Homo-oligomer: A and B are copies of this chain.
Amino acid sequence: MAKNKTPLLDQLESGPWPSFVSDMKQQAEARAKNENNVEYQIPVDVVDDLLGVLELSYVDGETHWKHGGIVGVFGYGGGVIGRYCDQPEMFPGVAHFHTMRVAQPGGKFYKTDYLRQLCDLWDFRGSGLTNMHGSTGDIILLGTTTPQLEEIFFELTHKMDQDLGGSGSNLRTPADCIGQARCEWACYDTQDLCYQLTIDYQDELHRPAFPYKFKFKFDGCPNCCVASIARADMAFVGTWKDDIRIDQDAVKAYVEGDVKPNGNAHAGRDWGPFDIAKEVLDLCPTECMRYENGKLEINNRECVRCMHCINVMPRALRPGVHGGLSILVGAKAPILDGAQMGSLLIPFVEVNKESGYEEIKNVIEPIWDWWMEEGKNRERLGELMKRKGFQALLEAVGVDAMPQHVSEPRHNPYIFWKEEEVPGGFEMDINAFRKRHLR
């Protein structure tokens, strides 16, 4: 029988969607039974008490977790989120309930042997509850006690070849979309770039040297399936430089109804026969497509590579072959100054595995230098950009201003000039002036 009564939570066991309450309950029960005789290193009733404290929150309408203290593993400035219950006597099983962030593999592909190893470890030394995955991308191991942190880290690194992810004023665990692994649209190898930068920047990831958190996300194309543009201080979004590849026969097949548009994504309703004008040409934001005499033409110079036409006709259209990526910077959540999406900094950069992605690092590192130099404590890159101006960012990275940087030029005329840009400089002689202009 369950340790704590949870009448409110129990109501969340009904309904078709997988119930986290049912799952927690089965886990609580299994722990209590302990059929495999695990020598649990943290309280056996940890899950029971988590259910209990959650039920209490459902009654109170308030959380029962206190501020996390500073806990972690030796030498790392992140990877663990400390957490303590504010009713430890009622719920001793979760009095300490720290989270560990485990760096997820690229594309979130797994082999089951690895997962089982992780499950065993977490059953043994933690609550047996996880988040698959956290919002940043990590595997979240939810709830353990302070003494277990080093033990878990030791087992992870020694037995599983696996490191922790980021938290604190660090580079956070980078994340990628599935990309070339299973997507026909990826303009570069998201997994490799993500992995390589993660490895090369391990120091930045584990040892807080930044003013605040910093996130990388890697999307293979502008569909942004890992939401990089919204959620990464630095978003790497695949794009291409040459022309969209067209298979005219396939275009015809779409027009004639032989292939369902949008990879059949609209199959749940009868939208009528495919209408290339309405569904593709008219929705192209730049109106750069024509369909005449059974032939699709794209004025690629005017195309902004938004993906819409490709999304709708995946068998007929493909991104160009000259792939690369755009870098957008500064995305962040609303605290303190309002949310930001990434702003376009580098329209196109080659993704060059052979060079060790040097071209890309040449953008990343000057930005970090600038941010570490100029950023205030707890100031995200986006906020620094706002405070100092986009121009300051450009100077830091050594990039010239170009119209691609803006959706529109400034409409206020409050232009700053550098003294060296203005003939004669800023020093003017008031006495000479007063000769021309009497008081």
Minimum CB–CB distance from A161 to chain B (whole Å) comes to 41
Shortest distance between the CB of A413 and any CB in chain B (Å):
7
Q: Is A14 an interface residue (CB 8 A)?
A: no
Are B438's CB and A334's CB within 8 A? no
> How far, in whole Å, are A87 and B437 apart by their CA atoms in the complex?
7
A97 to chain B, nearest CB (A): 15
CB-based contact A412/B86 at 8 Å? no
Q: Are A413 and B86 in contact (CB under 8 A)?
A: no
Judge if A116 is at the interface, Cβ distance under 8 Å: no
Distance A290 CA – B60 CA, assembled complex (angstroms): 57
Mask, A331-350, CB within 8 Å of B = 1, is 00010001100000000000
Flag A39-67 by CB within 8 Å of B: 1 or 0 each.
00000000000000000000010101010
- The listed residue (B87, B339, B412, B436) touching A339 by CB distance below 8 A is B412
Q: Would B436 and A62 count as touching, CB distance under 8 A? A: yes
Cα A64 to Cα B437 in complex, Å, equals: 7
Residue-wise, chain A 116-142 has the 8 Å CB interface mask toward B (1 for contact) of 000000000000000000000000000
Given the complex of chains A and B, what is the CA–CA distance between A339 and B66 in angstroms? 47
Instruction: Judge if A411 is at the interface, Cβ distance under 8 Å.
Output: yes
Q: Which residues of B contact A320 (CB under 8 A)?
A: none
In the complex, the chain B residue whose C-beta lies closest to that of A338 is: B412
Complex alpha-carbon distance, A439 and B67, angstroms: 10
Q: Does B413 lie within 8 Å of A334, measured CB to CB?
A: yes
The smallest C-beta distance from A331 to any residue of chain B, in angstroms, reads 14
Q: How many subunits of this chain does the assembly comprise?
A: 2
- For the side of the interface on A, what is the size category? 10 to 19
A404 to chain B, nearest CB (A): 24
List which A65-122 residues lie within 8 A (CB) of chain B.
66, 86-88
The reply to whether B62 and A334 contact each other, CB–CB distance below 8 Å, is no
Task: Tell me which residues across on chain B come within 8 A of A338, comparing CB atoms.
Answer: 412, 414
Contact residue among B334, B413, B438 (Cβ-Cβ distance under 8 Å from A87): B438
* Chain B: CB-nearest residue to A88: B438
CB of B339 within 8 A of CB of A438, answer no
Interface 0/1 of A399-439, CB less than 8 Å to B: 00000000000011110000000000000000000001111
Q: Which residues of B contact A88 (CB under 8 A)?
A: 438
C-alpha gap A86/B413 in the complex (Å):
28
* A412 CB contacts on chain B under 8 angstroms: 334, 338-339
Min CB gap A93→B, angstroms: 16
Please give, as numbers and ranges, the residues of chain B lying within 8 Å of A411 by CB-CB distance: 339
Which residues of B lie under 8 Å from residue A62 when comparing CB positions? Answer: 436-437
The residue of chain B having its C-beta at the shortest distance from the C-beta of A90 within the complex is B438
In the assembled complex, the CB of A133 is this many whole angstroms from the nearest CB of chain B, namely 25
Residue of B nearest to A64 (CB): B437
Contacts A339-B412, A412-B339 given: A437-B86 contact, CB under 8 Å? yes
**What's the nearest-Cβ distance from chain B to residue A134, in Å?**
22
Contacts of A60 in B (CB 8 A): 436
- Are B339 and A86 touching (Cβ within 8 A)? no
Q: Is the CB of B438 within 8 A of A86?
A: yes
Closest B-chain residue to A334, C-beta based? B412
Closest to A337 in B: B412
CA distance A350 to B172 in the complex (A): 59
Separation of A339 and B413 alpha carbons in the complex (Å): 10
Q: CB-CB < 8 A to A438: which residues of B?
A: 86-88
A311 to chain B, nearest CB (A): 23
Query: In the bound complex, how far is the Cα of B56 from the Cα of A436, in angstroms?
Result: 10
11 further A-B pairs in the complex, CB-CB below 8 A; given A66-B439, A87-B438, A334-B414: A60-B436, A62-B437, A66-B437, A86-B439, A87-B437, A88-B438, A334-B412, A334-B413, A338-B414, A339-B411, A339-B412
Q: Offer 20 A-B interface pairs, CB within 8 angstroms, sorted by A.
A: A60-B436, A62-B436, A62-B437, A64-B437, A66-B437, A66-B439, A86-B436, A86-B437, A86-B438, A86-B439, A87-B437, A87-B438, A88-B438, A334-B412, A334-B413, A334-B414, A338-B412, A338-B414, A339-B411, A339-B412
